[in-house]
Amino acid sequence: MDPMTGVILVLLAVVLVIVLCVLGGSFFMVEQAQVTLIERFGKFSRIAHAGLNFKLPLIERKAGRLSMRVQQLNVKVETKTSDNVFVDIVVSVQYHVVDGKEFEAFYRLTNPEQQITAHVFDAVRSQVPAMTLDHVFEKKSDIEIAVSAGLKTKINAFGYDIDGSPVTDIAPDDKVRAAMNEINAASRLREAAEQQGEAVKIKTVKAAEAEKESKKLQGEGIAAERIAIAEGIRDSVAALLSVGEGGGVSPEEAMKTLILTQYFDTLRAIGASSRATTVFLPHSPGGAADLSRQISEAIMVGNQAPGPQEPARAVAGSVPPTTPARAA
């Protein structure tokens, strides 16, 4: 083979390799949910979307890529409330590149995250200082609305849109948090004490009502018992008097017998109880006879007592009044 021919073949092979390398570098892949910006001689040319794309070798180049997904940026803002409490507020800004505004999103903002953070600081610090700490917790939705509205008007012109900006954390100073917990604990304890007092009150009232009802029932029982005793005594006296009409039992003897019967029934009931605390006077046979004598005397005195319209009668055994002696 001619040497010149060999050199030509080598040069052709080198050129072919270079061409293949250049052509191979002209094809590129763009992933899903991403776009690539193509520049031609340093000027923006077009947007390359997901899939296999081609760029002119040595003329066009890939300037950069943008993600079309929704992204989240957590911004921690330290600010002061109207009641002079410093608080850290974390706002999670969710944003995405607007379809068709990739040029603005890539070329007009140098660092989107820093600029979004600056706008969040401005929105939060213009909203929170007009609120108390309690209102910050209660009305955090107002902060979200204010941040979203402020960002939309300022970021949309740069090719971004705001999907939401929820407040994910509100952290006051540790001392303030401890004080708030103590206030809450004291309130809970006071409520518990009130509930316990109300429960004690209800128990006391119910116990008093139960005792009242019990006393009422006991009184009714005692009254019924006394009525029954009185009726029994009446029937006993009537039975003894009926026997007296044929056998010579007087009312005094009948009453005496009835009282002694009640007396011995009481002794029997006390003897049957193991924890009796009632104290009685001596009840020997002599004592029983003395009790009987006292009852008889009481009955006799009662019978001899004058009625409301009767003159006083002489007591049996008393000395009649003497007639004064005449002068001789």
Q: Is the pTM of this model over 0.75?
A: no
pLDDT at 1: 59
- Please say if the pLDDT value at position 183 is more than 60: yes
For the chain, give the percent of residues with pLDDT over 70: 74
pLDDT interval class at 296 (50, 70, 90): low
Determine the Cα angle at 42 with ends 38 and 48, to 5°: 5
Enter the DSSP assignment of 101: -
Greater pLDDT, 136 or 316:
136
> Is it the case that residue 301 has pLDDT exceeding 50?
yes
Sign of CA pseudo-dihedral 164, 168, 172, 173: negative
Q: Give residue-wise pLDDT tens across range 124-182.
A: 988 899 988 888 888 888 888 888 888 888 888 889 998 989 999 988 888 877 877 78
- Strands (E) located in the chain: 27-30, 34-40, 43-48, 51-54, 60-67, 71-80, 86-97, 160-164, 167-172
More reliable by pLDDT, 127 or 236: 127
Q: What are the tokens at 42?
A: 């340093």
Name the residue with higher pLDDT: 8 or 199: 199
Domains of the chain: 21-67 (no CATH), 71-172 (3.30.479.30)
Residues 42-94: tens digit of each pLDDT: 899 999 999 989 888 888 889 999 999 999 999 999 998 898 888 999 999 99
Question: Residue 263 burial (CB < 10 Å; 0-12/13-18/19+)?
Answer: middle
